[in-house]
Amino acid sequence: MTLAGQLAARIRATGPMTLAEFMAEALLHPTLGYYTTGDPLGAAGDFTTAPEISQMFGEMLGLCLAQTWLDQGAPDTVTLAELGPGRGTLMADILRATRGVPGFHDAISVHLVEASPAFRAAQATRLSDYDPSWHDSVDDLPDSPLLLVANEFLDALPIRQFARVGDGWAETLVTVTDGGLAFARGEPVPVPELDHHDVADGTIVERCPALVPVIGAVAARVATGGTAIFVDYGHWRAQGDTVQAVRAHAPVDPLDAPGTADLTAHVDFEAIARAAAPAAVTPMIRQGVLLERLGITARAQALARGLDGAERDALIAAHRRLVHPAEMGDLFKAIALHPPGTPPPPGFDASA
Ligand code: SAH
């Protein structure tokens, strides 16, 4: 039976489900989920990501992490971790870019938090020289100082969605009609976690319940050393319906054939900042600004010198795609956690 059929049967038996329950099934159902069943990345897949666009993305983040490690006195044991590493491209680029940093590779052990068996297999191949460990949850990461990256991970965490109605909040639900799965709206109820959104009646806001424990577990480790960099698309105090389904690089109805399309929601960076204690948190900055500050243009020029023709054009296009405001540069944002009393990592410091 299709996942849509299974979910319809479940809704008929037990009633409508929240969007978070629906997203969790669509993405991570053990045999029919989107991430559990395939490799959706890259030009031939459903969507592409910054590390798949260019090695420069991982190189810049790698140098940022290694510089942070040096600035913090080069501790001799440190966890280098990634959440949702996909094909392992970002981590591979981080490791390659930091090979020349004396002592760094001796100090790190590589840890990957990944739900998808297919992606775990791809990561094992890609990172076989580095003997990575895999974890189901951020809670399982070692307690040592932590250098962590997560690109387009938080946007895959299931969200709940509500519309403001009077003093309450009416939740978006997934129900079933004769025509199949359909959206419905629950009765307005109090949701104190949303009351800082001072919005007009009818405005939609989203909440990612899984984000708080993820950020909390990372923050507890980073507070004692290291840094954590989150890059994703989103805003500060996001509002509106941001749930998006994408199949073969085109938007589709989120309820159409769940498990066969990517399903994401914009990340509310304010929610990251609110969950960041006991770590300190940087301001949210645009991806383009971060990469420029970390030196991506000089790196692109250096790489371009060795190329010509179509390869050179592809490099220039990739640089533009990552940093230009009309491409990913403004839409994607970054934020970093760091130990209280230490400077923000390179690129996140406004005076840098
Ligand atoms: N960071 C990669 C892949 C982004 S796609 C890149 O930028 O190319 C999202 C990744 O998060 C995939 O690897 C997916 O399998 C993983 N993922 C999604 N939800 C997860 C969860 N709840 N726990 C662990 N991994 C998850």
Q: Taking residues 246-263, what's their average pLDDT? A: 94
Average pLDDT across the chain, whole number: 95
CB 51 within 8 A of CB 86: yes
Rounded to whole angstroms, the Cα distance separating 241 from 261 reads: 18
DSSP string, 298-322: HHHHHHHHT--HHHHHHHHHHHHHH
Q: Which residues contact ligand 1 via a Cβ below 6 A? A: 27, 35, 41, 49, 51-52, 84-86, 90, 113-116, 119, 151-153, 156
Distance 155 CA to ligand 1 centre (A): 9
Select from 149, 277, 263, 287 the least CA-distant residue to 212.
277
Q: How confident is the model at residue 233 (pLDDT cuts 50, 70, 90)?
A: very high
Q: Using the atom order of ligand 1, give the atom closest to the CA of residue 52.
A: 8
Least confident of 11-20, 33-42, 254-263, 279-288: 33-42
Closest alpha carbon to 22 in 6, 38, 37: 6
Token pair for 4: 């849509």
Helices 296-305 and 55-71, interaxial angle, to 10°? 130
Pocket test for ligand 1, best of 21, 28, 34, 35 (most atoms within 8 A of CB): 35
Angle at 59 (CA atoms; ends 56, 65), nearest 5 degrees: 145
Report which ligand 1 atom has the smallest distance to the Cα of 210.
22
Average pLDDT over residues 303-315: 95
Q: pLDDT-derived band of residue 352, with 50, 70 and 90 as boundaries?
A: very low
Given phi > 0 = left and psi -120 to 50 = alpha, else beta, which region is 64?
Answer: alpha
Q: Of all atoms in ligand 1, which is nearest to the CA of residue 35?
A: 15
Q: What is the pLDDT of residue 43?
A: 64
Query: Which tokens belong to 135?
Result: 């974890």
Q: Which atom of ligand 1 is least distant from the CA of 152?
A: 4
Residue nearest to atom 16 of ligand 1 (CA): 84
3-class secondary-structure state, position 247: strand
Q: Please, are residues 164 and 200 in contact by the beta-carbon 8 Å criterion?
A: yes
Name residue, tokens 């981080």. Answer: 94
- Find, among 160, 146, 217, 156, the residue nearest to 33 by Cα: 156
Whether 283 shows a pLDDT value over 80: the answer reads yes
Q: What is the pTM of this model?
A: 0.96
Amino acid at 48: T
| Least confident stretch, 38-52, 245-259, 337-351 | 38-52
Q: Residues 6 or more apart from 226 whose CB is under 8 A from it?
A: 68, 69, 72, 78, 79, 145, 146, 147, 148, 338, 339
Q: How confident is the model at residue 210 (pLDDT cuts 50, 70, 90)?
A: very high
Mutate to test the pocket of ligand 1, among 49, 90, 153, 157 (most ligand atoms within 8 A of CB): 153
Eight-class DSSP state of 282: P
- For residue 245, name the pLDDT band (cuts at 50, 70, 90): very high
- How far apart CA 47 and CA 87 sit, in angstroms, is 13
Give tens-digit pLDDT for 26-38. Answer: 999 999 999 988 7
- Tell me whether strands 146-151 and 78-83 are parallel, antiparallel or unpaired: parallel
| Residue at 92: amino acid letter | A
Q: Per-residue pLDDT for 92 more than 90?
A: yes
Summarize the confidence of residues 13-18 as an average pLDDT: 98
Q: Which residue has the higher pLDDT, 239 or 332?
A: 332
- Whether residue 39 has pLDDT greater than 80: no
Query: Average pLDDT in the 201-207 region?
Result: 96
Residue nearest to atom 13 of ligand 1 (CA): 86
Cα atoms in the 13 Å half-sphere on the side-chain side of 253: 9
- Two structure tokens written together for 97: 């870019």
Residue 137: pLDDT band by 50, 70, 90 thresholds? very high
DSSP string, 318-352: HHHHHH-TTTHHHHEEEEEEE-TTSPPPTTS-TT-
pLDDT digit string (tens) for 177-199? 998 999 999 999 999 999 999 99
Q: Look at residue 42 in the predicted model and tell me its pLDDT.
A: 66
DSSP characters over 163-221? EEETTEEEEEEEEEETTEEEEEE---B--GGGTT----TT-EEEE-TTHHHHHHHHHHH
Nearest atom within ligand 1 for CA of residue 41 = 8
Is the omega angle on the peptide bond into residue 254 within 30 degrees of 0, that is, cis?
no
pLDDT at 36: 87
pLDDT value of residue 337:
98
User: Count of alpha carbons within 13 Å of 199, Cβ hemisphere only?
Assistant: 20
State which H helix or E strand residue 28 sits in.
helix 19-28
pLDDT at residue 238 in the model: 82
Which residue type occupies 26? A
